[in-house]
Amino acid sequence: MSELTRTWDLLWKDYTSFNPHAKLIHDEILVNEKAVDPSRAMLVNDHVAFRTFKSPKIGLDVLAQIFLSMGYEYKKDYHFEQKKLYAKHFEHFQDPEMPKVFISELLTEEFSPEVQKVIEFVNDQVPLELTTCPDFLWSGRSWDVSYKTYQTLLQESEYAAWMYVFGFRPNHFTISFNDLKSFKDLKDLNDFVRSKGHSLNSSGGEIKGSPEEHLEQSSTLAGKVEVDFKEGRFEVPACYYEFAKRYPQKDGKLYTGFVAQSADKIFESTDVKH
Residues that bind Ni ion (CB under 5 A): 49, 242
Which residue's CB is nearer to Ni ion, number 33 or number 242? Answer: 242
Bridge partners of residue 72, in order along the sequence: 92
3-state SS, residue 59: coil
Which residue's CB is nearer to Ni ion, number 53 or number 173? Answer: 173
Which residue's CB is nearer to Ni ion, number 126 or number 208? Answer: 208
Return the ∠ at Cα 107 (arms to 105 and 110), rounded to 5°: 165
Which residue's CB is nearer to Ni ion, number 25 or number 49? Answer: 49
3-state SS, residue 237: strand
- CA gap 263, 274 in Å, rounded: 18
Residue 245: name the closest of 256, 234, 229 by CA: 256
Which residue's CB is nearer to Ni ion, number 227 or number 260? Answer: 260
Which residue's CB is nearer to Ni ion, number 66 or number 239? Answer: 239
Is beta strand 240-246 parallel, antiparallel or unpaired with respect to 224-229?
A: unpaired
- CA gap 17, 23 in Å, rounded: 9
Smallest gap from Cβ 47 to Ni ion, in A, equals: 6
Smallest gap from Cβ 53 to Ni ion, in A, equals: 19
- CA gap 168, 214 in Å, rounded: 30
Smallest gap from Cβ 189 to Ni ion, in A, equals: 15
- CA gap 186, 180 in Å, rounded: 10
E strand or H helix that includes residue 244:
strand 240-246
Which residue's CB is nearer to Ni ion, number 33 or number 264? Answer: 264
Smallest gap from Cβ 120 to Ni ion, in A, equals: 28
Smallest gap from Cβ 174 to Ni ion, in A, equals: 5
Which residue's CB is nearer to Ni ion, number 134 or number 209? Answer: 209
DSSP labels for 201-212? --TT-SSEEEGG
Smallest gap from Cβ 171 to Ni ion, in A, equals: 8
Q: Residue 163 in contact with residue 118, Cβ under 8 Å? A: no
Q: Residue 168 in contact with residue 122, Cβ under 8 Å? A: no
Smallest gap from Cβ 175 to Ni ion, in A, equals: 11
- CA gap 51, 46 in Å, rounded: 17
Smallest gap from Cβ 268 to Ni ion, in A, equals: 12
DSSP 221: P
